[in-house]
Structure 1
Amino acid sequence: MLLGVVADDFTGASDIANTLAKGLAGQGGLKTAQFLNVPSLKAPADIEAGVVALKSRSIAAADAVAQSLAALRWLQDQGCRQIVFKYCSTFDSTPDGNIGPVAEALAAALDQKSVVVCPAFPGAGRTIYQGHLFVHDRLLSESGLEKHPLNPMTDPDIRRWLARQAKHPVGLVAWPSVRQGPERIAAELQQAVQRGQRLVIVDAITDDDLVAIGRAAATALLLTGGSGIALGLPGNFIAAGLAKGARPQVAGMSGPEAVLAGSCSGATRGQIEHHRRRHPVLAIDVDKVMRGASGANDIVTFVLANAGKAPLVYSSGAPEDVKALQDRYGREKVAHRLDRLFADAAQGLVAKGIRRLVIAGGETSGAVVSALDLGALTVGPEIDPGVPVLVAEGKSPIALALKSGNFGASDFFAKALARLAGA
């Protein structure tokens, strides 16, 4: 294995796995596999890039560090020459962590004095200018992410936000320097070492910027960022003659289907509304779930009754409705109960023969795939930017799409189910 990724959630892991497998146009990517939690066995010998998907974004910082270091050790045992710590392109975290503590712990373990921090993903509208993170034409703090139910992002200045989490000073390579190319970026990263700045925000507003950053860090043992930071990395290994470059290919999977949506993002809510025009949709009554009056069997019954019609079940709600439920029952209790609900439902659905499953939301995806215990996932073609087809082999083969809340076009759910079937 040439490149290893430690990802802090399951949809984010799929996102960067897609970037690595696809590579740049005309070059191809790396043969990539996604692993659910830290594997106990070695990776297949032909895998060039391995993505370890953790569910560490919203847990205690000390636990996130421990899990990430365990993933690092496994990736090192597979022979990885470079490590990427992947987090959300909207930098989902709190002032206490977990991005800063994990990044510094990985840097210390790899003895890296200056590490790129770049959550930019221009293809999804996430850009960084002068250390400030934008979502399309809005500052992060005005994009709706300031109302995130678990990690509200109220400050778009990533350097300032990260400084609250980090032990060392945080640096910045501003966009005018990035535009001068890899040599200038590398020089400024070295200057950051002299200033004692361990984590360095690097601006990026185009894919070309991300490729330049990747080239500047071609020999770095550690980079951190959103999936965009990996855009130019396969090309480094191909140019060095260590990989040939290939396009991801997997066979489609026929069989019954379901969509489970736990994200409360505006994009996912819009996708649900689009889907309900032609397909059966069930809204989960969260209040009933919290009182024990509704459970996973209700979801399984609904899906099976609507087999072949692309049935969708969701708990997504408007921010004010979500807050009201959190105030009534407690934020952590609501999140835990819904994660458990979707996990139990997914287990029941797969046991009943569901073979195509689309999941929306990072926490929901993590809960579902952890419950299904699928092992390694083969990365296939892209459905929408940042979301690939994933296939798990075994006694109960299943094709998956794990979608971050804000990703995907309005018709994503129906399109994803078709792509999972090989259309």
Structure 2
Amino acid sequence: MLLGCIGDDFTGSSDLGNTLVKAGMRVVQYSGTPIMPAAPDVEAGIVALKSRTMPVADAVRLSLEALDWLRAQGCRQFLFKYCSTFDSTPQGNIGPVAEALADALNADRVIFCPAFPATGRTIYQGHLFVGDRLLSESGMENHPLTPMTDPDLRRWLSRQTREGVGHIPAATVWQGPDAVRAALSAQPHRFVVTDAIRDEDLVVLGQAVADQALLTGGSGIALGLPANFRARGLLSAEGPHWHGQPGPVAALSGSCSRATRGQVARHIADGNPAMEIDPEAVMAGTMTARHATDWALSQDGLPLVYSSADPDDVRAVQQRHGTEAVAARLDSFFAETARLLVAGGVTRLITAGGETSGAVVEGLSVASLEIGPEIDPGVPAIRAGDALVLALKSGNFGAENFFAKAAERLAG
């Protein structure tokens, strides 16, 4: 294994796998830290954790366990992958996990770059934009678990870490890898936020950190990494393999992001079957996974079970029952629904939302995932077994007709 990656959620990890597969690497995503060694033909291994919103100490512990396993596989470089909207709170978890990984690897001058221009995420003057809006005006300020109210990544990261945070501006990145390396060496701070507004900028950054033990960012930061290994003659010429899966399909959505809510609305407007899940009913036990499964299995086409309410409605439920209690109950609901759907014959399963996708993968007890071709930017098709394929979508990703596109792509 050449590149060892640690993702703080499941959809973000598959997003990273998508980037690496497109560049020709053979990639396997693991659901948590494996017990057994990786297969010898794996070139990039991604340990997907559900650590984005867990207590800081637990996130650090799990990330270090993943690092130990990846180091044992012989990895030459390590990447800590988080969301392209830098999802975190003033307490963490991005800063504390990055500090722990850097300490373990004795890494200095660690870059932070969540930019992903293909999905509208860019960084300029240290500020994160979503499309033409600052992060704090993009809808992410209403996220129920990680509300992003400050677009200045330097300031946000400084709240989470004891390290000083530096900055490399776009003007330096545009001068090429040598200029970036020189700017990194001259930085007085261990952690450095880097600007990037084009894919070309991410390739430059990847080239500049070819010899760095640790880097951090969104999936875009990996754009230039496979070429570094290829230039050293370390990549297989065969590349990844993929085949689709026929059979019944279903979709589960627990995201309340603007993008997913638009996709749900499009799905319904196109005449597809959809069942809305009321979180209050789930909390009361009057809506169960068995109810949702029985409904979905009785439908033709692409049935969608969704709980993608308006953020104000979500906050009201959280205030009545507690944020963690509501999140845990919904995760359990979707995990059990996924288990029952697959047991009922579903072979193609689509999920929307990072927390939902993580719950589904854990609920299905899938140990490893083969990353396949791209469905939409940041979202690959994934094989989870001999007769099961998945699409794990971050809430903010995907075209308006994503559910239909994913069902077709998963079929091959």
TM-score by length of structure 2 reads 0.98
1:177 alignment counterpart: 172
What is the aligned counterpart of 1:108 among 103, 106, 110? 103
Partner-residue secondary structure (3-state), 2:230:
helix
Q: For residue 14 of structure 1, what is the amino acid of its counterpart?
A: S
Give 3-state SS (helix, strand or coil) of 2:179's partner.
helix
Letter aligned with residue 284 of structure 1: I
CA distance in 2, matches of 1:246, 1:91: 34
Question: Deviations along 1:75-103, whole A, 9 cap, x unmatched?
Answer: 11111000000000000000000000000
Amino acid corresponding to residue 64 of structure 1 in structure 2: A
Say how many residue pairs are matched.
Answer: 411
User: Residue 123 of structure 1 corresponds to which residue in structure 2?
Assistant: 118
Which residue identity lines up with residue 10 of structure 1 in the other structure? F
Identity in percent: 58
Determine the C-alpha separation between the residues in 2 that align with 1:56 and 1:10: 10
Name the residue aligned to 2:354.
362
3-state DSSP class of the match of 1:258? strand
Q: What residue in structure 1 maps to residue 285 of structure 2?
A: 292
The correspondence for 1:416, drawn from 403, 406, 409, is 406
Give the 3-state SS of the residue equivalent to 2:88 in structure 1: coil
The aligned residue for residue 235 of structure 1 is: 227
Cα deviation, residue 393, structure 1 = 2.0
1:97 maps onto 2:97 in alignment: no
Superposed counterparts of 1:222-371, under 5 Å? 222-244=214-236, 247-276=239-268, 277-306=270-299, 308-371=300-363
TM-score normalised to the size of structure 1?
A: 0.96
Q: Indicate whether 1:53 and 2:45 are aligned.
A: no
1:84 aligned to 76, 79, 85, which one? 79
Cα distance between partner residues in 1 of 2:209 and 2:318: 43
Task: Encode CA deviations 1:354-403: one digit per residue, 9 max, x unaligned.
Answer: 11000000000011101111111111110000100100225xx3100000
Cα distance in 2 for residues equivalent to 1:389 and 1:414: 13
Counterpart-to-counterpart distance in 1, 2:238 and 2:97: 32
The equivalent of 1:199 in structure 2 is 191
- Check conservation: 1:392, 1:399, Cα contact below 8 A: yes
List per-residue Cα deviations over 1:276-323 (Å, max 9, x = no partner).
Answer: 1221000001111111111101111111111x4100000001111111
- What residue ranges of structure 2 are gaps of 5+ in the alignment? none
Superposed, 1:136-155 pairs within 5 Å as 136-155=131-150
Q: Deviation digits for residues 234-260 of structure 1, max 9, x if unmatched? A: 011011111145554311111111100
The residue aligned with 2:204 is 212
Conserved? CA contact 1:22–1:247, under 8 Å: no
Provide the rounded CA distance (Å) in 1 between the counterparts of 2:136 and 2:192. 21
Asked whether the equivalents of residues 120 and 226 of structure 1 are also in contact (C-alpha less than 8 Å), the reply is yes
Q: CA RMSD in A?
A: 0.9
* AA matched with 1:21: V
Deviation beyond 6 Å, 4+ runs, structure 1: none
Report the secondary structure of 2:245's partner residue.
Answer: coil
Q: Specify the SS of the correspondent of 1:380.
A: strand
SS where residue 67 of structure 2 aligns? helix
> Does the 8 Å CA contact 1:249/1:381 hold for their aligned counterparts?
no
Contact kept in structure 2, 1:238 and 1:245, CA below 8 Å = no
Q: Which residue of 2 aligns with 1:6?
A: 6
Match of 2:15 in 1: 15
Tell me: CA distance 1:247–1:416, structure 2 relative to 1, closer, same or farther (3 Å): farther
Distance 2:26 2:112 in 1: 25
**In structure 2, C-alpha distance between the alignment counterparts of 1:245 and 1:219, rounded to whole Å:** 23
| Kept in 2: contact 1:358–1:401 (CA 8 A) | yes
SS in 1 for 2:29: strand
